[in-house]
Amino acid sequence: MSEVEMSVVVREELERKEILKRYKSLLRSIRHELTNEQKKTIRAAFDLALDAHKDMRRKTGEPYIYHPIAVAKIAAQEIGLGTTSIVCGLIHDVVEDSDYTIQDIKRKFGEKTAKIVDGLTKIKEVFDHTDSMQAENFRKMLLTLSDDVRVILVKLCDRLHNMRTLESMGRKNQLKIASETLFLYAPLAHRLGLYNVKSELEDLSIKYTQREAYKEISHKLNAKKAARDRYIRKFIEPIKKKLDEANIKYTIKGRPKSIYSILKKMNQQDIPFEQVFDLFAIRIIVDSLAEKEKSDCWTAYSIVTDIYKPNPSRTRDWITTPKSNGYESLHTTVMGNDGKWVEVQIRTERMDELAEKGYAAHWKYKDSKEGIENEAQAGVDGWLARIKDILDNPSSNALEFLDDFKLQLIHEEIFVFTPNGDLKKLPKGASTLDFAFEIHTQVGSKCIGAKVNNRLVPLSHTLANGDQVEILTSEKQHPRDEWLQYVVTGKAIARIRNYLRESKREAADKGKELLKKRFHKEKIEFVEDNIQKLVRYFKVQSSLDLFYSVAKELISADKLQISNILNKKIATAAAPIKVVTAPNTSNKKNEIVVGDEYDLPYSLAKCCNPIPGDDIFGFITIGEGVKIHRTSCPNAVSLMSNYGYRIIKSQWKNTMVKTESRFLAGVKIIGIDDVGIVSSLSEIISKNMGVNMKAITIESHEGTFEGMISVFVEDTKHLDDLIANIKQKHPMMDVFRMELKA
């Protein structure tokens, strides 16, 4: 045997041992007691996966079987799913990647497992083999959700492991998969109550879409870990003492906020890392009897707030009224030692299991029984019913559907009451019109106003927690275009759009008949070519819009001189559709390689103003050439997840070479107001740093000021040097880069 053959044999033997080691680790991670029959089923699934993937390897070079074992382990250990889900995790790629069929799965493991694997295969076809999310296929895939929600739970396990191993993928695929995860899978995990999965998916997504921000926050969190641990120990000491005196059984955990939530707060509030005060949370988990859960949690709350002063505006009671995904907990933010805000969460062990594993904590699946054994499914059933409601009213624009679906995924909730005292859950920001559609489509369609707490309010009135709402209707009322500005719920949006679409189609049918008569009167043939000439002449989007405009007299009769329009040959000349490419700059000015081309025309997106040194990507627009965006652009996630096929790899040329180009960037400055602050800043920026300013605005607020400066810089290093220089001259100021408004 040659040396090469020997090394292959050794490698295969080592891999075989590693595979068995991982399989045994999977079995140990299963938290419920397995029967002999269940052990045999799991082993059969493992053997089938091993055979199906025997010649396959992942991008990392590892045997492919590592992946399904890892997915099954996440399902068992991190979500707490049962035998059926573990089996599905092991064989979720078998049908897609081998000659095994769904019928083979059905014969070997039964109809339920086959149905879940079939659903997983459909999801894989939709997302993993295309450059973007095909919303129409996604709509069909969602219908499998209502058959068995384990389809999406196992898919979340699959996505989580793929995100954990994303390092081995190319940059374009990293951006596509990470954006898709942030756009869809993290909100799905949140909606199903899987908070740990949601947080990890979000953090891993920005690790690839916003690399620099992720590294910076991660570094700052790690640098303060020892000090943070000391602070937490000191903070919980008096709480533990009082809980012990009250004879309450408990455990206390301290954890930092996720990197994603920190970054989100920094962006939303335009503040640097140092000003995010509640960087960590304390969780008190009470060991409580079922009948004493509520009183024990409030006792613990009173102990905490006796020791530390609470912020009244930051107290949340999700025990009295749980979130629609089943989440129960008491939240409060208190002022701790040294003037630091600390978030405290109080819940029982049952509530904590639900918070960690979401609805999976309720789904104690037993394969001998059909369906789900817990009434807690009612919440997810209600959510799925709303999703099916949207599915049953398909939008002509598939991306509209995705937006409507996302509205159902993640939102803060308010609780309002009907006149009879029935409780309704709505997203924060919902209007009286949303409430009307939540009651019934007909009520929403006929709504003319409402009484909120016995006071008359318009359709657009935004509801608040605890409002009691009575809807007023009229048979003469019907949905209008402006109603879309008043609503936020997916159901209301879908219903209004559907009515408007049908109404427009009916009007267009009448307009078509009127136009046909006009053609006949002028003895001109009513054919598609002539209709399209009118579409171009009147600069409308389609023949439907043309017919509608005629019906509604938006195109007046005196303008509808068909023979004159067709004979003038003006239709072609007046065509509104033309391709406008980005201005082609000379090679000396081209700073970016788009794809593999050094001179492909591009322009910088105004929504995020990228500068050399930023992580960037190209987006092929319709009519404006390639637009260059930062991967941290507010629009990046939507662009990359919905239009992945139009993303083109782009990178800055060697930024070590000095160029004459300058790029617009924004700097925000917060400090103590002082005479001459503008001239001081101008001197640092213009004279000392040689940087040109486009604009500077300073606003004073009772002794403090906020400044926004637009500057032209060479690259990120130039900008960082400028910020460091300002901080050096004014140590008390907060100075950081911020997005310029487009």
- Give 159-202 pLDDT, tens digit per residue: 999 999 999 888 888 888 888 888 878 888 887 778 888 999 99
User: What is the pLDDT averaged over residues 443-466?
Assistant: 87
Q: Does residue 288 share a domain with residue 199? A: no
DSSP state of 289: -
DSSP structural state of residue 597: B
Packing angle, helices 543-551 and 528-537, rounded to 10: 70
Catalytic residue among 15, 18, 62, 97: 97
pLDDT at residue 270 in the model: 78
Residue 384 has pLDDT above 70, yes or no: no
Task: Kindly report the pTM of this predicted structure.
Answer: 0.63
Q: Which residue has the tokens 């749980």?
A: 322
Rounded distance between C-alpha atoms, residue 609 and residue 593, angstroms: 17
pLDDT (tens digit per residue) in 385-437: 655 555 555 444 545 555 555 555 555 677 788 888 777 878 888 999 999 99
Helices (H), 465-522: 490-521
DSSP three-state, residue 110: coil
| 256 and 306 assigned to the same domain | yes
Q: What is the CATH number of the domain that holds 263?
A: 3.30.460.10
**Positive or negative CA dihedral for 158, 159, 163, 164?**
negative
What confidence score (pLDDT) does residue 654 get?
Answer: 63
CA dihedral 309, 313, 316, 320 (to 10 degrees): 100
| CA 351 to each of CA 61, 185, 347: distance values in angstroms, whole numbers, following the listed order | 41, 23, 6
Domain of 563, in residue numbers: 498-573
Residues 322-329 have a mean pLDDT of 78
Contacts of 270 (CB under 8 A, 6+ apart): 668, 738
**94 vs 387 pLDDT, higher one:** 94
Domain membership flag for residue 395? no
Q: What is the pLDDT of residue 393?
A: 55
Q: Which band of pLDDT confidence, cut at 50, 70 and 90, is reported for residue 22?
A: very high
Q: Give mean pLDDT, residues 552-577.
A: 61
pLDDT score for 40: 93
pLDDT at 564 over 80: no
Q: Give residue 730's pLDDT.
A: 83
d(CA 138, CA 403): 12
- Token pair of 647, please? 């993303």
* Catalytic annotation, pick one of 15, 62, 96, 734: 96
Closest CA to 148 of 126, 128, 178, 123: 123
Boundary (domain end) residue, out of 329, 361, 393: 361
Q: What pairs with residue 253 in β-bridges?
A: 283
Whole-number CA gyration radius for the chain: 30
Q: How far is CA 113 from the centre of its chain?
A: 29
Strand-pair category, 330-335 with 309-310: antiparallel
Judged by average pLDDT, the poorest of 194-198, 508-512, 551-555, 726-730 is: 551-555
pLDDT for 500 beyond 70: yes
* The pair of three-digit structure tokens given for residue 16, joined into one six-digit string: 């075989």
Contact between 336 and 282 under an 8 Å Cβ cutoff? The reply is: no
Query: Which H helix or E strand runs over 544?
Result: helix 543-551
Tell me which residue has tokens 């891993």: 204
Q: What was the pLDDT predicted at 681?
A: 83
DSSP conformational letter for 482: G
Q: Is residue 439 part of a domain?
A: no
Query: Is residue 232, in this structure, part of any structural domain at all?
Result: yes
Predicted confidence (pLDDT) at residue 376 exceeds the cutoff of 50: no
More confident residue, 323 or 13: 13
51 and 167 in a single domain? The answer is yes
* Residue 696 domain flag: yes
Do 186 and 244 fall into the same domain?
no
> Is 739's pLDDT higher than 60?
yes
- Asked if 96 and 140 sit in the same domain, the reply is yes
Return d(Cα 165, Cα 204) in angstroms, integer: 10
**Confidence label for 74 from pLDDT (cuts 50, 70 and 90):** very high
Angle at the Cα of 704 (from 683 to 340), degrees rounded to 5?
Answer: 120
- 438 catalytically annotated: no
Does residue 327 sit within a domain? yes
The chain-wide mean pLDDT, for the chain, equals 79
Query: For residue 537, what are the contacts with CB-CB under 8 A and spacing of at least 6?
Result: 565, 570, 571, 574
What is the rounded (10 degree) CA torsion for 418, 420, 423, 425? -20
Residue 430: name the closest of 440, 416, 419, 420 by CA: 416
Among the candidates 361, 386, 410, a domain finishes at 361
Active site residue 216: no
Q: What is the CATH number of the domain that holds 109?
A: 1.10.3210.10
Residue-wise pLDDT for 615-659, tens only, equals: 888 888 876 778 889 888 888 877 877 777 778 888 887 644 445
Cβ–Cβ < 8 Å for 655, 715: yes
Are residues 226 and 204 part of one domain?
no
Q: Could you please report the per-residue DSSP string of 20-73?
A: HHHHHHHHHH--SPPPHHHHHHHHHHHHHHHHHTTT-B-TTSSBTTHHHHHHHH
More confident position, 134 or 639 = 639
**Are residues 204 and 105 located together in one domain of the fold?**
yes
What is the phi/psi pair of residue 605, to 5°?
Answer: -65, 135
Whether residues 541 and 622 share a domain: the answer is: no
Task: Looking at the structure, tell me whether residues 632 and 729 fall in a common domain.
Answer: no
Pairing of strands 330-335, 341-348: antiparallel
Same domain for 187 and 224, yes or no, is no
Digit-coded pLDDT (tens) for 240-285: 999 999 999 999 988 778 899 888 888 877 788 877 767 778 999 9
Secondary structure (3-state) at 316 = strand
Residue from 156, 121, 147, 29 nearest 83 by CA:
29
Is the pLDDT confidence value at 466 over 90?
no
In this predicted structure, what is the pLDDT of residue 387? Answer: 58
pLDDT at 657: 44
- Phi then psi dihedrals of residue 457, to 5 deg: -135, 160
Q: Is residue 238 part of a domain?
A: yes
Number of domains making up the chain: 5
**More confident call, 361 vs 504:** 504
- What tokens does 700 get? 């004073």
CA-based nearest residue to 585, from 645, 628, 630: 628
Final residue belonging to a domain, choices 361, 392, 418 = 361
- HEC per residue, 652-698: ECCCCCCCCCCEEEEEEEEEECCCCHHHHHHHHHHHHCCCEEEEEEE
Distance CA 426, CA 492 (A): 11
Q: Which residue has the tokens 């709505």?
A: 426
Q: Among residues 477, 379, 467, 378, which one has the least CA distance to residue 430?
A: 467
pLDDT at residue 170 in the model: 85
- Domain match, 187 and 288 both: no
Residue 138 has pLDDT above 80, yes or no: no
Write the burial class of residue 368 (CB in 10 Å: 0-12 exposed, 13-18 middle, 19+ buried). exposed
Give 45-56 pLDDT, tens digit per residue: 999 999 999 888
- Stronger pLDDT, 109 or 582, i.e. the higher one: 109
Q: Return the percentage of the chain with pLDDT > 70, whole number.
A: 81
Q: Could you tell me if 48 and 42 are in contact, meaning their C-beta atoms sit under 8 angstroms apart?
A: no
Q: How confident is the model at residue 364 (pLDDT cuts 50, 70, 90)?
A: very low
Identify the pLDDT of residue 634: 81
Closest residue by Cα to residue 438 from 457, 454, 417, 458: 417
Q: Are 448 and 434 in contact (CB under 8 A)?
A: no
Residues 228, 180 within the same domain: no
The pLDDT of 492-514, averaged and rounded, is 86
Which two tokens mark 191? Answer: 């909606």
Does residue 385 sit within a domain? no
Is the residue at 377 inside a domain? no
pLDDT category, 287, cuts 50, 70, 90?
very high
**Mean pLDDT of all residues in 479-492:** 86
Strands (E), 413-495: 413-417, 423-427, 447-452, 455-457, 469-473
